[in-house]
Structure formats: structure tokens, C-alpha cells
């Protein structure tokens, strides 16, 4: 194309900027299927665009750039970095050739095209490798392939400008995959751009993990398809081993009792096969039936497995822990129990040591609970005290106090001397092999005689120092606070001789001294820690109950975070109310605690069931032999477990062969609706000891006429029930002899029957009295007189030496010479 000049308008003709003449781009479109992970794919549109570049030749005419010129420019040019700015080909004059800058730009464009072609080829290769590793998904029929792009000679291809092909970073120029020369891929739909070489690829490496995100590991991970293929191979190997008859030998744990289905599961055998094996042993069982350990052992041996016998009680093994090393032991405070007869000043003595007033708050002035306190003496030494009741009904409490203590302080009143509960306390202390310190109390009384107490103790194998023995005896007065310091010195001296030590750096172990239920706090247990340290949050087992320590309080009500050896504390967080005397052990987790609690509960139920079965058989034989026994059913609710225990024990002692108390239900806590319902069904009274009924229970009891009796002193309760049992006793029958009469003649009277004409030989005969007919010194009839007459008149009585006529009620076999004995019957009420 040549330039011309328009003279009319005065304007010069020329090319538009940038001075480059091009043909329209040729576009060829097609569709291909793009695959993604997990078998997903989609169709995308691919366009192939071709460019032809024209430049002026030496003659000034437009001609297409040949490939030879491009290669010549590439050979002559050298460049180190790609040109980022777009390069424009300026319009050349007709008489000039291509400049060196233009040749370099064209060479750079060709190099970029080559790199793009190689990058596309590398991406296609990596995609093919990924498809080979993944399982082939079900695909739709492939569409028609995209039309092929015929490659043009190099001379006919147009040099692509750098702005049309993205240039890679300088450091990745040698490693980038290069697309085909002069081809540009334009994906219409959104897709993931190909990753650069050396970078982790999401599609080929599987899911993105945290470690990859943090760049903690490099390289490809194992695909899910590979893992699945490996599991399939392992499953096939197991099937081949089973088909080949390979036997898998297992170790089967056999408890004391196990169901057939559970045994089959542990052997990995079918329950039907186990039942067939038992049928060969002449045992017809079902899958849910329980068999003993010996039978299960035979079955396991028959199936070729190994067995291991375990007892159900093995769950308690290791609960108390190992013995402590001597190096870990530390000195601890002594635990002292104050024991003695009722009203001998035990609680008053403890009050004097604690400088408190507990005795004044006890009902009737007697202690009915075990109190646990830790006292800090003026010298700084600490002593833990347990105060036990002295009433006869609380024998179990005294026994329990002697078992958990280190020293027993035997409190004896100087004016009363040795009493029954004093002797019992001495026996408990001697049985527990606990050293005794005698505190002779009430020496301020005018009739106090301490020497008599020392002498009387000799009868029970207690020799005090004053009579040549080793037992310390201190004369004290709780009210006047006399010689309390000497008692403290005696306790500390005895504790020093015992060398009391414990390891605080271990899980806590102790014993429940008392338990109760409080409103708003639930089950509360007074626990004496014996070794280890109990902390808030510990999981523990107390008998058949378990829980987590939610809070701990000392005797003054102050919250504690931990309690060491010899420290008595109140614990909240129990699931139920344990029994007094139960052992407390801290365990590692709730599963162990629940397992131990459930085992102990099953054991207790089995023992009670067996005892009730034996009692039923014994009662059956007793009723056959001695007649029906009268029972008084009662429902007992008390404030603490120790009181329940004492009441039940006292009521058992009231019973005889004829009458007895039947405790339908006894528990700790207030009286509720279920207690009233149980009492109504059995016509039983409800006994509340230091507890009250809630409003709903009171309303239900009034409606159903259920009697509720409240007590705060135990001997008042026992006295009332003793009177009730006495009223249930059958009255005593007493005979009073009246006289004898001899039959002289027998008369037959119409409409009356036989009438005996008698002579009263001794005493008198009364009408309405009971008589016996004696023939040859043998009693042949006992009954009542229907008629007593003298001549023709009815009389009330006939005296000695007088004739009379007698007729027996419903009896006619009388003969002359028979003797008639007349007596009176009297019923006398009995007392227990």
C-alpha cells in the first residue's frame, strides 16, 4: 500500500497508530472434558487463535513475516530478562530494514510462545498421571474432538506480542511448562489454573491437610484410592485364610457368670454353634441364659481357644494401692476416740478441749451422732477427736469408733464408777487392740471417788499406773476445766510412743464416720482421711456409692481445698448416701468408680436376697411348729445413718418368738410420699427420728390415716414400741379352781336331754363356769354348764355338801360315778 496525497483537503494518507497492519484473528472453537478429583468432570470450551504479522518489506510493500527472519533475529539477539512493557513495532521507512531492537522483541515473543507450549504439555502429562492413580469414574460419552489446528509455516505465523502471553517470573523461566508455538488456550468457564512446577498440586496430592498448609511436609500424599485398594487386598487375604481353614486362636476372659451370647462374642463364634456345643453336654440353653465359669471353660476349650478365668471381685484389686515406702512417711496427728457410759461427760470433756458447746445442743443431753473434730491445742499440736454415743443402742457406733482410732480415752464418772456401756467400750477397745487412757471425770463432785474407779477397772484387765500398771489415768473435770493440760500431755505422749506416720503424697484413703442427707446439699459424708491427701475434684468410691468431691468443709464449716492424713472433713458430691464405716478410696476415673460401685451393689443385693430366703424358710418351720408369729411393720427415717443403724438394732432386740418388729424400709432423710405409700400398703406406722415429713407427705398421711411418730431421743422410741409389742402379745390364761361334784344319778328329761344329779363334794360350782368331766381319772370332756338347778329353781352357785342338777352344753355322755371339776378362766396381759 502506497501513500497518496489529497490536494483538495490537504491531508496526508497513512496507517493508523501503532503503525502495524494485521489481518483479523482466526478463531477455531471446540469442547473438551475436564476431570477433577473424586470422579467429577465438566465440559469446557477451548478456542485456538492464530495470528499473522505483516510488515513493510524493502520495497515498501506489506508482506507477511517469514519464519526465516524470525530465526535470524533469534540467532542474532541475546537477552537476559523478559521485557515487561509491551513492545510496539514502529512503521519503517521504505528504504530501511528491521532494527536490532525489533529483532530482539520478536525473538522474545517467540521464546515466550515456546515456554507456554511446554507448560501446557507438562500440565497435560501431570493430569494423565493423576487420572492413572485415581479409579476411573463412570463418564458420559465423549463429545466430538475439537477441530485440529493446522500449523502454518513459520513465515506465515504472526509474532505474538508479549502482552498476549503472560511472562513467568525470572526464577521460574527455565522450569515452566511451555505451550505449543503460537497457540493460546482460552477456557471460557472457570477452572483451576495449572500449577507451576516445583509447587504442591492440590488435585494430584489429595485433600489439603493442616501440615501442608503449615508447610511442615512436602511431596505428594497417598491417595484414597490407594488406601482402599490396600484394604481390599487385606480383606481378600483374610477371606483366603478362612477358606483355607486357618483357625484364629483368641484369649477368652471368663468371669464367674457369663451369658451364652457374650461368650460367643468373645470367641468370635456364632451363638448357634455355642448352643449346639452346650446341647452335646445335655444343657438346653438360650442365647440370653447365664452359664457358670466351669461350663464356659469347657466350651472355650472345645472351640480351640485359650481361656483366662477372672473373678468378679477382681475389680477391687489395687483399690487401696501399694504400701508406702518408709522414706515417704511423715508424722501425722493422732486420732482419739472418747468413749464411755451415757451421761459420764464425754461430750462435755470434748467441749472443754474445743472450748465449744455441743452437749447443750444434743437432744436430751446425750450424743446420738459421731462427731469428728480436729483440735489445735495451746501447745500447737493437733489432735483429731471422735465423740461416740454412750447409749446402749449405739453399740455399733462405739465399735466403729474404736476401729478407726489410734487412742481411746475412756471417760468414767468419778461418782458413778464402772457402768454397762463403760464395760462395752473397754471390750471394743481391747478387741481393736487400741491403747487406752482413762479420764476420771467429775472429780469436782462431793461424792467423787477416783480410787474406787481405779480399783473397779482391775476387774476388766485395766491396770492404771497407780496400782502398778501401764495405763495412764488422769483426774479431770470438764465443767471446771481441771487438769485438761495433763490429759493433753498424756495423749501426745501416747501418740509419740505409737510413732504415727502416713504418706500424704498419694491418692487419699479413709473411712466414712457418719453420713446424712441435707436439704440443698444432698448426701453429705463425714470422712476421716487415714492416708494420702483428698482434694476437691477427686473421684472416689465410698462403699457402694461413688462421686466427685465438689466441696469439703471442716468441723467449723470452713471450706477446704485439700485434707491430709488424720483430718476429718465433710464431703459433698456423692451420688447416694453411703453407710457409716464404709471405706473411701480415690480412683483414677469415673469408669473405675462406677464399676466398683455396681459390683458392691450387686454383692449386697445378693447377700440380702439369700438372707431373706433363709429367713423365709426358718419362719415357715417356726410357724408350723409354734404357730403364727405376730409382726409389727414399721418404716424408719432418721437424720444420719448411725441413728438408723442404732434404731434397727434396738428394735431387733425387742422381738421375741411371738412378736417382733419388721422394718419395711429404713433410710436417711426426710419423710416423703413414697414412705407414706409404703406404710399405707402395709398398715405400718412411720417413725421419724430427728426428721420431719414434707407438706405433700403430711397431706397424704392425713388422707390415708397413716400414723407418723416423731422422736428425738432413742430411748423414748424404744419404750413406745415396747409397749406396742406388749399389747400384741397373746394374754396369759390363768385357771382358778372352784370345786368338785360327783354324779350320783342320771335322768332323761324330755326336750332337755340327760341331766346329772350331783353332790358337791368340794368347793363350789358356778353357773357359766367351765367344767371338766373326769372318768377313771381321765378327762373325757371340757366345756360349760348349760343348766344349774337346785330342786326346780335355777341357781347361780351351789356350795359344798349340797345336791344339785347339772346339764352340759352339747354333751350327753355322762354316767353315774363321773367326777365334775369346775374352774374359772382369767386372761392376764403380758409384758415384754
| 297 shares a domain with 364 | no
Mean pLDDT of 331-353: 82
Query: For cell 489529497, what's the residue?
Result: 6
Identify the weakest region by mean pLDDT among 77-86, 176-185, 351-360, 443-452: 77-86
Main-chain dihedrals φ then ψ at residue 749, nearest 5 degrees: -115, 135
| 340 shares a domain with 476 | yes
Mean pLDDT of 486-502: 86
Which CATH number characterizes residue 685's domain?
Answer: 3.40.50.10050
Identify the weakest region by mean pLDDT among 59-68, 184-193, 247-256: 184-193
User: Is the separation of the CB atoms in 660 and 631 below 8 Å?
Assistant: yes
Identify the weakest region by mean pLDDT among 210-219, 514-523, 642-651, 685-694: 210-219
| 470 shares a domain with 368 | yes
| 650 shares a domain with 592 | no
Which CATH number characterizes residue 778's domain?
Answer: 2.40.30.10
Residue 461 falls inside a structural domain: yes
Q: Report pLDDT for 149.
A: 41
DSSP classification of residue 334? -
* Percent of the residues in the chain that have a pLDDT greater than 90, as a whole number: 3
Residue 825: CB atoms within 10 Å? 10
Count how many domains the chain has.
Answer: 6
Confidence of residue 275 (pLDDT cuts 50, 70, 90): very high
Q: Report pLDDT for 14.
A: 57
- 626: pLDDT strictly greater than 70: no
Residue 573: CB atoms within 10 Å? 21
| 470 shares a domain with 425 | yes
| 567 shares a domain with 476 | no
The domain in which residue 752 lies consists of: 732-828
In tens, the pLDDT along 588-619 reads 888 888 888 888 888 887 776 665 554 454 55
Query: For cell 424404744, what's the residue?
Result: 718
4 CB-near residues (< 8 Å, 6+ apart): 13
Residue 209 falls inside a structural domain: no
- 649: pLDDT strictly greater than 70: yes
Q: Report pLDDT for 370.
A: 54
Identify the weakest region by mean pLDDT among 125-134, 179-188, 447-456: 179-188
| 737 shares a domain with 715 | no
Q: Report the C-alpha gap between 431 and 675 in whole angstroms.
A: 39
Mean pLDDT of 470-481: 85
582 CB-near residues (< 8 Å, 6+ apart): 511, 512, 542, 543, 544, 545
- 140: pLDDT strictly greater than 80: no
- 820: pLDDT strictly greater than 80: yes
Question: Who has greater pLDDT, 685 or 201?
Answer: 685
Confidence of residue 208 (pLDDT cuts 50, 70, 90): low
Confidence of residue 391 (pLDDT cuts 50, 70, 90): low
Q: Report pLDDT for 732.
A: 78
| 275 shares a domain with 417 | no
User: Is the separation of the CB atoms in 796 and 802 below 8 Å?
Assistant: no
Q: Report pLDDT for 662.
A: 84
Rounded to the nearest integer, the mean pLDDT of the chain is 75
- 138: pLDDT strictly greater than 50: no
| 722 shares a domain with 739 | no
801 CB-near residues (< 8 Å, 6+ apart): 759, 760
User: Is the separation of the CB atoms in 788 and 798 below 8 Å?
Assistant: yes
- 774: pLDDT strictly greater than 80: yes
> Three-class SS of residue 363?
helix
Main-chain dihedrals φ then ψ at residue 397, nearest 5 degrees: -65, -45
Residue 660 falls inside a structural domain: yes
In tens, the pLDDT along 26-76 reads 566 778 788 887 778 888 777 766 666 677 777 777 776 655 554 555 454
Which grid coordinates belong to 306? 485359650
| 720 shares a domain with 596 | no
Question: Who has greater pLDDT, 784 or 319?
Answer: 784
Instruction: Spell out where 698-802 has E strands.
Output: 708-711, 732-749, 753-766, 770-775, 778-790, 793-794, 797-799
In tens, the pLDDT along 392-426 reads 555 565 566 666 788 888 888 888 888 888 888 88
In tens, the pLDDT along 725-744 reads 887 777 778 888 888 998 88
| 676 shares a domain with 740 | no
**From residue 95, how far is each of 69, 89, 447, 661 by CA, in Å?**
17, 16, 153, 138
Residue 20 falls inside a structural domain: no
In tens, the pLDDT along 428-448 reads 788 778 888 888 888 888 888
Q: Report pLDDT for 20.
A: 57
1 CB-near residues (< 8 Å, 6+ apart): 21, 61, 62
Q: Report pLDDT for 362.
A: 52
Identify the weakest region by mean pLDDT among 206-215, 636-645, 695-704, 719-728: 206-215
Q: Which of 709, 728, 747 is the last residue of a domain?
A: 728
Identify the weakest region by mean pLDDT among 78-92, 116-130, 336-350, 728-742: 78-92
Amino acid at each position: 500500500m502506497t501513500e497518496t496525497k489529497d490536494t483538495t483537503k490537504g491531508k496526508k494518507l497513512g496507517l493508523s497508530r501503532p503503525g502495524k497492519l494485521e489481518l483479523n484473528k482466526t478463531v477455531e472453537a471446540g469442547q473438551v472434558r475436564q476431570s477433577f478429583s473424586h470422579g467429577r468432570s465438566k465440559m469446557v470450551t477451548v478456542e485456538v487463535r492464530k495470528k499473522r504479522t505483516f510488515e513493510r518489506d524493502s520495497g515498501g510493500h506489506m508482506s507477511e513475516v517469514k519464519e526465516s527472519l524470525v530465526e535470524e533475529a533469534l540467532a542474532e539477539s541475546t537477552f537476559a530478562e523478559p521485557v515487561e512493557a509491551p513492545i510496539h513495532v514502529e512503521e519503517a521507512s521504505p528504504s530501511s530494514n528491521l532494527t536490532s531492537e525489533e529483532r530482539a522483541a520478536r525473538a522474545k515473543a517467540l521464546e515466550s510462545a515456546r515456554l507456554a507450549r511446554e507448560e501446557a504439555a507438562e500440565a497435560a502429562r501431570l493430569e494423565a498421571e493423576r487420572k492413572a492413580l485415581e479409579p476411573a469414574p463412570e463418564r458420559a460419552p465423549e463429545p466430538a474432538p475439537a477441530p485440529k489446528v493446522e500449523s502454518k509455516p513459520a513465515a506465515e505465523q504472526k509474532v505474538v506480542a508479549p502482552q498476549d502471553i503472560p511472562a513467568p517470573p525470572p526464577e521460574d523461566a527455565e522450569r515452566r511448562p511451555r505451550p505449543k508455538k503460537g497457540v493460546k488456550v482460552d477456557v471460557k468457564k472457570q477452572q483451576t489454573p495449572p500449577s507451576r512446577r516445583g509447587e504442591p498440586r492440590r488435585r494430584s496430592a489429595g485433600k489439603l491437610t493442616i501440615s501442608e498448609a503449615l508447610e511442615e511436609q512436602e511431596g505428594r500424599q497417598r491417595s484414597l484410592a490407594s488406601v482402599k485398594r490396600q484394604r481390599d487386598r487385606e480383606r481378600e487375604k483374610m477371606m483366603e485364610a478362612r477358606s483355607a481353614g486357618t483357625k484364629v486362636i483368641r484369649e477368652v476372659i471368663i468371669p464367674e457368670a457369663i451369658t451364652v451370647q457374650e461368650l460367643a462374642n468373645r470367641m468370635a463364634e456364632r451363638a448357634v454353634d455355642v448352643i449346639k456345643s452346650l446341647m452335646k453336654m445335655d444343657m438346653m440353653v438360650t442365647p440370653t441364659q447365664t452359664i457358670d465359669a466351669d461350663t464356659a471353660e469347657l466350651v472355650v476349650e472345645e472351640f480351640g481357644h485359650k481361656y483366662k478365668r477372672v473373678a468378679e471381685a477382681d475389680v477391687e484389686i489395687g483399690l487401696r494401692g501399694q504400701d508406702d515406702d518408709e522414706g515417704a512417711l511423715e508424722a501425722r496427728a493422732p486420732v482419739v476416740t472418747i468413749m464411755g457410759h451415757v451421761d459420764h461427760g464425754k461430750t462435755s470433756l470434748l467441749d472443754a478441749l474445743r472450748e465449744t458447746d455441743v452437749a447443750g445442743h444434743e437432744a436430751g443431753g446425750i450424743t446420738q451422732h459421731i462427731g469428728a473434730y480436729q483440735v489445735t491445742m495451746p501447745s500447737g499440736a493437733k489432735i483429731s477427736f471422735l465423740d461416740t454415743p454412750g447409749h446402749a443402742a449405739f453399740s455399733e457406733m462405739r465399735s466403729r469408733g474404736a476401729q478407726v482410732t489410734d487412742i481411746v480415752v475412756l471417760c468414767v464418772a468419778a461418782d458413778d464408777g464402772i457402768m454397762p456401756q463403760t464395760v462395752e467400750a473397754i471390750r471394743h477397745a481391747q478387741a481393736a487392740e487400741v491403747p487406752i487412757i482413762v479420764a476420771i471425770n467429775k472429780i469436782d463432785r462431793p461424792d467423787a471417788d477416783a480410787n474406787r474407779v481405779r480399783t473397779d477397772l482391775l476387774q476388766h484387765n485395766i491396770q492404771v499406773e497407780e496400782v502398778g500398771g501401764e495405763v495412764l489415768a488422769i483426774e479431770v473435770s470438764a465443767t471446771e476445766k481441771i487438769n485438761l493440760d495433763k490429759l493433753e500431755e498424756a495423749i501426745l505422749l501416747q501418740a509419740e510412743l505409737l510413732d504415727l506416720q502416713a504418706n500424704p503424697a498419694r491418692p487419699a484413703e479413709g473411712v466414712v464416720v457418719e453420713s446424712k442427707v441435707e436439704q440443698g446439699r444432698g448426701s453429705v459424708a463425714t470422712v476421716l482421711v487415714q492416708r494420702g491427701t483428698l482434694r476437691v475434684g477427686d473421684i472416689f468410691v465410698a462403699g457402694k456409692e461413688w462421686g466427685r468431691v465438689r466441696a469439703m468443709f471442716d468441723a467449723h464449716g470452713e471450706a477446704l481445698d485439700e485434707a491430709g492424713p488424720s483430718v476429718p472433713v465433710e464431703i459433698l458430691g456423692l451420688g447416694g448416701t453411703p453407710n457409716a464405716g464404709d471405706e473411701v478410696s480415690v480412683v483414677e476415673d469415673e469408669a473405675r468408680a462406677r464399676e466398683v460401685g455396681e459390683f458392691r451393689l450387686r454383692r449386697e443385693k445378693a447377700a440380702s436376697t439369700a438372707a431373706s430366703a433363709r429367713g423365709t424358710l426358718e419362719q415357715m418351720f417356726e410357724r408350723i411348729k409354734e404357730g403364727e408369729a405376730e409382726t409389727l411393720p414399721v418404716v424408719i427415717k432418721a437424720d444420719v445413718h448411725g441413728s438408723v443403724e442404732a434404731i434397727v438394732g434396738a428394735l431387733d432386740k425387742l422381738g421375741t418368738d411371738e412378736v417382733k418388729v419388721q422394718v419395711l424400709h429404713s433410710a436417711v432423710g426426710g419423710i416423703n410420699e413414697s414412705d407414706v405409700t409404703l406404710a399405707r400398703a402395709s398398715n405400718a406406722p412411720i417413725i421419724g427420728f430427728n426428721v420431719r415429713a414434707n407438706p405433700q407427705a403430711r397431706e397424704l398421711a392425713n388422707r390415708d390415716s397413716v400414723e407418723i411418730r416423731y422422736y428425738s431421743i432413742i430411748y423414748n422410741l424404744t419404750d413406745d414400741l415396747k409397749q406396742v409389742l406388749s399389747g400384741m402379745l397373746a394374754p396369759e390364761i390363768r385357771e382358778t379352781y372352784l370345786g368338785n361334784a360327783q354324779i350320783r344319778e342320771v335322768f332323761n328329761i324330755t326336750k332337755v336331754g340327760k341331766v346329772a344329779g350331783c353332790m358337791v363334794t368340794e368347793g363350789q360350782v358356778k353357773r357359766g363356769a367351765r367344767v371338766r368331766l373326769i372318768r377313771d381319772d381321765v378327762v373325757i370332756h371340757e366345756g360349760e354348764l348349760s343348766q344349774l338347778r337346785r330342786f326346780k329353781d335355777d341357781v347361780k352357785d351351789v356350795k359344798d355338801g349340797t345336791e344339785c342338777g347339772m346339764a352340759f352344753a352339747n354333751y350327753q355322755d355322762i354316767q353315774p360315778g363321773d367326777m365334775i371339776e369346775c374352774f374359772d378362766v382369767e386372761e392376764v396381759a403380758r409384758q415384754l
